[in-house]
């Protein structure tokens, strides 16, 4: 075995998986996991932990894996993370824990994500659950949104003995884990539902079909229903469009709509009551994880699928693994291109898209080289479906119905970073509702920080 | 689960149900809507609220069977329950949230078409309770599919029923009825039209000529109903609006109805197949070249 390289992880063959919705990555078995764990140097001053937004004690859990103590490894992770089976699958490890791994200086870093996933899946198979609090605090906390931020905050507060209720607007708990990330990357029944069951086993109640700001306001929750503190983890749900001609034509969808139909409503399954467009040729606009998810979903539904992104490959914001998988499966990347118009027939059905070539200019505020149009370089390509994956912004519903809750120019809720305190007493916030669209693990980190903030606040009250 | 306390077939294919949903009943206002799911597998179906009882904690919905989803809903009986029932969604009607003193000075005419009579009812009722008598035109294809006539009569200033085939009340479409009323000397300051998109389009065409400001309630395709998916986007003037969070009521003179009607047809084939499958079993696979 080459100690400089990761133990390879088994995956479904690209050609096979391009036609199904089964999980792409098959994960490690015990033998592979123990072999990979051997590669960990067990650093005293572990850099990987510093790279983890929820500060999992990575060397310790890997040490337990090495010894074959998988349940103990799970207990170590559970101290810091409520959703290890999710994080092992969707965290951008290359820029977090694995990005800091000393092994990575000369060779490949330890495959921390795959080990975390192995530990979580094994614990689930063994029926191991996180431990509920032994003492109750007798105080009520409301959590708005059951995505990664809300579940994490709820789990941590329940472990501390608080009486926690999560309010979810949709009919199913999980937030972006359920409506956004596809089955082939994050299985819903086997992984997400199990993680949510674990949070519930800590005593957390989940009330679905409650739209905070419509069904009831935050002020009413605190004044009429006796909640002592509130955490807002409502995410960034509003899709962006480009504002180009033809964008309302039939066959143009936001990635949110396309993915919600496929993931939450199970439209990828032909027996689903909710329809989804089965297109011949799909153009997905955007270069993030959501764009990759939409493109790979379209591919699996039988379409030739293109990704149109205005910068070059280097700037693609998606996780490296997603881009790699997308390419393997046959997604065509049209880079340094930008749509200028969506073409349609007289009945408003999409027939194509007009693109303009781009070149990279000077770096912008984000440090990325900004794309500039090449004059006169427009050309048309055929397509019957266009999916816009241009990012999302927070829903103004909660801010606009809560007295004294400040937002910034981008409509994000203003919350202090260390503990998530907002401008309103007793109200904390975190995740995409505060930062704008980001990652699952950053939302979890914010949920965790806010749980500490809420515990401090209620302990001193 | 959301228990059904009353289920009644008002006329062929149009059903009324009273559903226990205390959170919705506590906070809803006329003009808002709910989204329901019959069971764990069902699609999300948006329906405008027809009535509410804050004390009983109930919401009344009225729906027409138009596809597989509503067909499944129609099979539910008193004592059964909806798996999901979420709301209130959207903004309340502006007539209700505007300054009541200003609304009191307005001469209001409602135009209800078919099952659109249901969402008109709570608005007229609310106005009546606040001392405002609004005229109501109710249109139906024929007498036997007219709904909520008695209820509407009790709350409307004047109720004008018109049927396309002349089988009851006045004869002709709602647009003819409005034109006739104006010709008879009636004067209005605002019109609220709710019904099929094609009806609202032609009402708006007429009221533009009459220089009568008109509000319409749009019912495009929706998924989540909270602003997340953008399926319900509409061109309103030169802006793109989401019916679920910016509406469902808009200035009818600014709506691009032709675009909205084309967008409504996106899933027509899939919906038609699902409806036939629900009604007759899996006999319609397509590709047989026989139909």
Question: Which tens digits make up the pLDDT trace of B271-283?
Answer: 777 777 777 665 5
Q: Quickly count helices (H) and strands (E) in chain B.
A: 11, 17
Q: Work out the average pLDDT over A450-460.
A: 94
Chain A residues touching B26 at Cβ < 8 A = 216
Chain B: residue whose CA lies nearest to A345 = B262
Cα–Cα dist B228/A411, whole Å: 15
Q: Residues of CATH 2.40.30.10 domain(s) within chain B?
A: 2-89
Q: Work out the average pLDDT over A288-299.
A: 96
Q: Residue B229: pLDDT above 50?
A: yes
Percent of chain B with pLDDT over 70: 96
pLDDT score of B6: 96
Query: Which strand (E) or helix (H) includes residue A459?
Result: helix A440-459
Report CA dihedral (B143, B149, B150, B156) to the nearest 10 degrees: -140
Across the A:B interface, residue pairs with CB atoms under 8 Å apart total 106
Lowest mean pLDDT among A92-101, A356-365, B128-137, B262-271: B262-271
Q: Are B257 and B193 in contact (CB under 8 A)?
A: no
Chain A residues touching B227 at Cβ < 8 A = 237-238, 395, 397
Neighbours of A4 (CB within 10 A): 11
Nearest-CB residue to B227 (from A210, A237, A348): A237
Q: Residue B291: pLDDT above 50?
A: no
Q: Residues of CATH 3.40.50.80 domain(s) within chain B?
A: 99-217
Joined tokens for residue A238: 């509003």
pLDDT score of A459: 92
Q: Work out the average pLDDT over A185-195.
A: 93
Choosing among 3.40.50.80, 3.40.50.1860, 3.20.20.100, 3.90.180.10, the CATH entry for B99-217 is 3.40.50.80
Residue A391 contacts B where some CB pair is shorter than 8 Å:
no
pLDDT score of A225: 96
Across chain B, what does the average pLDDT equal? 92
Q: Work out the average pLDDT over B32-52.
A: 94
**How near does any CA of chain B get to the CA of A305, in Å?**
20
Residue A237 contacts B where some CB pair is shorter than 8 Å:
yes
Residue A397 contacts B where some CB pair is shorter than 8 Å:
yes
Q: Work out the average pLDDT over B185-196.
A: 95
Backbone angles phi, psi at A236, to 5 degrees: -120, 95
Q: Which residues pair with B112 in a beta bridge?
A: B138, B194
Cα–Cα dist A200/A275, whole Å: 32
The answer to whether B227 contacts A238, with C-beta atoms less than 8 Å apart, is yes
Q: Is the dihedral of CA B56, B57, B62, B65 positive or negative?
A: negative
**How near does any CA of chain A get to the CA of B275, in Å?**
10
From the list A205, A115, A214, the residue with the least C-alpha distance to A157 is: A205
Percent of chain A with pLDDT over 90: 79
Cα–Cα dist A373/A336, whole Å: 9
Residue A219 contacts B where some CB pair is shorter than 8 Å:
no
Cα–Cα dist A32/A110, whole Å: 12
Residues A219, A442, A294: CA angle, nearest 5 degrees: 100
Separation in Å, CA A368 to CA A215, A309, A320, A322, A360: 42, 14, 17, 20, 9
Joined tokens for residue A204: 């957390």
Q: How confident is the model at residue B290 (pLDDT cuts 50, 70, 90)?
A: very low
Q: Are A52 and A97 in contact (CB under 8 A)?
A: yes
Separation in Å, CA B139 to CA B51, B150, B173: 20, 14, 7
Chain B residues touching A250 at Cβ < 8 A = 262-263, 265-266
Q: Residue A111: pLDDT above 50?
A: yes
Backbone angles phi, psi at A163, to 5 degrees: -90, 105
Across chain A, what does the average pLDDT equal? 93
3-state secondary structure of A193: helix
Chain B: residue whose CA lies nearest to A217 = B27
CATH class entry, domain B2-89: mainly beta
Joined tokens for residue B108: 């209001």
Q: Quickly count helices (H) and strands (E) in chain A.
A: 18, 18
Nearest-CB residue to A275 (from B240, B263, B271): B271
Cα–Cα dist A247/A260, whole Å: 19
pLDDT score of A340: 97
Angle formed by the axes of helices A148-159 and A440-459, nearest 10°: 40
Q: Residue A1: pLDDT above 80?
A: no
Q: Which residue has the higher pLDDT, A429 or A129?
A: A429
Q: Is A308 exposed, middle or buried (0-12, 13-18, 19+ CB in 10 A)?
A: buried
The answer to whether A250 contacts B262, with C-beta atoms less than 8 Å apart, is yes
ipTM above 0.85 for this complex: yes
Q: Residue A219: pLDDT above 50?
A: yes
Chain A residues touching B229 at Cβ < 8 A = 239, 254, 256-257, 260
The answer to whether A395 contacts B43, with C-beta atoms less than 8 Å apart, is no
pTM: 0.91
Query: Which strand (E) or helix (H) includes residue A58?
Result: helix A58-66
Q: Is B264 exposed, middle or buried (0-12, 13-18, 19+ CB in 10 A)?
A: middle
């Amino acid at each position: 075995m080459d100690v400089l390289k990761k133990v390879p992880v088994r995956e479904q063959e690209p050609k096979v998986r391009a036609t199904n919705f089964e999980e792409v990555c098959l994960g490690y078995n015990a033998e592979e996991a123990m072999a990979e764990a051997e590669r960990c140097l067990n650093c005293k001053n572990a850099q990987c932990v510093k790279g983890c937004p929820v500060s999992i004690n990575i060397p310790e859990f890997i040490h337990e894996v090495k010894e074959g103590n998988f349940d103990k490894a799970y207990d170590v992770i559970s101290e810091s993370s409520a959703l290890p089976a999710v994080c092992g699958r969707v965290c951008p490890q290359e820029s977090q824990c694995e990005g800091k791994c000393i092994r990575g200086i000369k060779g490949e870093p330890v495959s921390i994500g795959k080990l975390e996933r192995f530990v979580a899946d094994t614990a689930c198979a063994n029926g191991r659950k996180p431990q509920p609090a032994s003492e109750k605090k007798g105080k009520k906390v409301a959590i708005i949104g059951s995505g990664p931020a809300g579940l994490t905050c709820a789990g941590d507060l329940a472990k501390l003995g608080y009486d926690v209720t999560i309010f979810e607007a949709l009919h199913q708990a999980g937030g972006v884990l359920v409506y956004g990330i596809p089955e082939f990357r994050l299985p819903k029944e086997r992984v997400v539902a199990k993680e949510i069951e674990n949070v519930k086993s800590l005593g957390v109640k989940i009330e679905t079909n409650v739209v905070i700001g419509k069904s009831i306001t935050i002020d009413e929750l605190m004044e009429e229903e006796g909640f002592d503190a509130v955490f807002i983890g409502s995410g960034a749900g509003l899709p962006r469009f480009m504002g180009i001609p033809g964008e309302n034509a039939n066959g143009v969808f936001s990635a949110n709509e396309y993915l919600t139909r496929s993931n939450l409503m199970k439209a990828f399954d032909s027996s689903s009551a909710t329809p989804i467009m089965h297109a011949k040729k799909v153009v997905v606009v955007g270069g993030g994880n959501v764009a990759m998810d939409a493109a790979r979903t379209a591919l699996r539904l039988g379409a030739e699928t293109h990704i149109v992104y205005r910068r070059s490959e280097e700037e693609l914001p998606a996780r490296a693994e997603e881009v790699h998988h997308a390419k393997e499966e046959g997604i065509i990347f049209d880079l340094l291109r930008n749509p200028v118009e969506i073409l349609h027939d007289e009945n408003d059905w999409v027939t194509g898209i007009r693109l303009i070539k781009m070149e990279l200019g000077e770096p912008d505020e984000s440090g990325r080289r900004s794309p500039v149009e090449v004059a006169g370089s427009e050309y048309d390509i055929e397509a019957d479906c266009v999916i816009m994956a241009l990012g999302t912004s927070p829903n103004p519903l909660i801010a606009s119905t809560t007295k004294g809750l400040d937002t910034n120019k981008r409509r994000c809720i203003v919350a202090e970073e260390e503990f998530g305190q907002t401008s309103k007493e007793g109200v904390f916030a975190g995740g995409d509702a505060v930062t704008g669209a980001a990652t699952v693990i950053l939302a979890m980190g914010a949920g965790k920080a806010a749980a500490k903030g809420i515990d401090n606040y209620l302990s001193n009250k | 689960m959301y228990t059904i306390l009353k289920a009644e077939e008002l006329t062929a294919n149009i059903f009324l149900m009273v559903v226990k949903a205390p959170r919705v009943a506590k906070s809803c206002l006329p003009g808002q809507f709910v989204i329901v799911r019959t069971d764990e597998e069902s699609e999300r179906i948006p329906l405008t609220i027809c009535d509410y009882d804050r004390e009983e904690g109930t919401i009344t919905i009225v729906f027409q069977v138009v596809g597989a989803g509503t067909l499944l809903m129609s099979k539910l009986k008193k004592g059964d329950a909806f798996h999901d029932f979420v709301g209130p969604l959207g903004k309340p009607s502006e007539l209700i949230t505007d300054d009541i003193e200003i609304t009191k000075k307005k001469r209001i005419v409602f135009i209800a078409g078919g099952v659109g009579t249901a969402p008109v009812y709570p608005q007229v009722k609310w106005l009546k309770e606040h001392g405002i008598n609004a005229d109501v035109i109710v249109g139906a294809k024929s007498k036997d599919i007219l709904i909520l006539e008695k209820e509407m009569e009790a709350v409307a200033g004047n109720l004008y029923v018109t049927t396309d085939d002349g089988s009851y009340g006045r004869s002709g479409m709602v647009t003819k009825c409005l034109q006739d009323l104006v010709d008879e000397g009636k004067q209005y300051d605002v019109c609220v039209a709710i019904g099929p998109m094609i009806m609202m389009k032609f009402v708006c065409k007429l009221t533009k000529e009459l220089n009568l400001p008109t509000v319409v309630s749009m019912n495009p395709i929706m998924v989540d109903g909270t602003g997340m998916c953008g399926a319900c986007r509409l061109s309103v003037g030169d802006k793109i609006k989401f019916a679920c969070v910016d509406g469902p009521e808009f200035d009818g003179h600014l709506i691009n109805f032709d675009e909205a009607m084309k967008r409504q047809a996106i899933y027509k084939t899939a919906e038609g197949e699902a409806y036939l499958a629900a009604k007759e079993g899996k006999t319609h696979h397509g590709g047989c070249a026989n139909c």
